[in-house]
Chain A
Amino acid sequence: MTVKELCEKCGFEAVCLPEPDREVTGGYCGDLLSWVMGRAKSGEAWVTIMSNMNIAAVATLCDTACIVLSENVSPDAGVAENAEMRGINILKTPLPTFEAAVLISKQL
């Protein structure tokens, strides 16, 4: 399933979608960036409440398929532009992290 399809099926909002056809192979939830960086895998949808600029760097290094901001969190100023430039997809949802993860899991 592509990020664009996942976004539509889950009813998520696309904050930026520079790589809509990127394949989603799984998911990872976490807010502690050092922890996420060591464990999230390439192609996964990463669900987090972190919204600062460093999420774009972590997503780039882990090569995740997309970042899903849960709990109605919006990215900080400049994050979306930076992510767009780096080819990082960012989605958002009002759902709590657990519910967002369950929803993603059902689509895969």
Chain B
Amino acid sequence: MSDSLRFHFDVNGQSFTSAGQASVQVKKNLRELGIPAETIRRVSIAMYEGEINMVIHAHGGEADVIVYEDKIVIILADRGPGIPNIELAMKEGYSTAPDNIRSLGFGAGMGLPNMKRYTDDMKIETEIGKGTTITMTVNI
């Protein structure tokens, strides 16, 4: 656990269309590190959903990806409005995204469920009016 590699990204909350830049870069970095393809896929999908959420709901935030020998940890932190009801937010199909986001093919209430599905562990810390931090772990 001593050797780890950290990638840090600022997620721009102004541009929905540029969301995903950090995930795409992480995918590239992990591929260069020789991480198994399926692991990369799970990490990048979970992270992309998280990025999209940060742009839709929280005006952006910060993303950190830490690569350990046996796992990859993704930390997504924003200073958005917080999640009032995590249980409801985790329900597939539940969404508070506006219509313009839905017309772009997102906001179907699958973001958080997908993030949980593609990771081995997901922890949500949220405080109303302060922000949300999501920590996800994918075992290698």
Contact = CB atoms under 8 A, between A and B. Distances in A.
Interface of A: 31-35, 37-38, 42, 50, 52-55, 57-58, 60-63, 78, 86
Please name the 7 residue pairs, one residue from A and one from B, whose CB atoms are nearest each other, closest first: A57-B20, A53-B17, A34-B110, A33-B105, A50-B105, A61-B44, A60-B24
Contacts of B49: 34, 37
Given A38-B45, A38-B118, A52-B17, A32 B23 contact: no
21 contacts: A32-B108, A34-B105, A34-B114, A37-B49, A37-B114, A38-B45, A38-B117, A42-B41, A50-B105, A52-B104, A52-B105, A54-B19, A54-B52, A54-B104, A57-B19, A60-B20, A61-B24, A61-B41, A61-B44, A61-B45, A62-B41
Nearest to A52: B104
A31 B106 CA distance: 9
Interface of B: 16-21, 23-24, 27, 37, 41, 44-45, 48-49, 52, 104-106, 108, 110-111, 114, 117-118
B127 to A, nearest CB: 26
B24 A57 contact: yes
Contact of B27 (A31, A34, A38, A60): A60
B12 to A, nearest CB: 13
A54 B114 contact: no
Nearest to B24: A60
Given A38-B118, A52-B17, A61 B48 contact: yes
The SS class assigned to the B binding surface is helix
The SS class assigned to the A binding surface is helix
B105 A42 contact: no
Contacts of B108: 32, 34-35
Contact of B23 (A33, A42, A57): A57
Contacts of B17: 52-54, 78
A90 to B, nearest CB: 16
A53 B106 CA distance: 12
Contacts of A32: 105, 108, 110
A86 B25 CA distance: 11
Contacts of A61: 20, 23-24, 27, 41, 44-45, 48
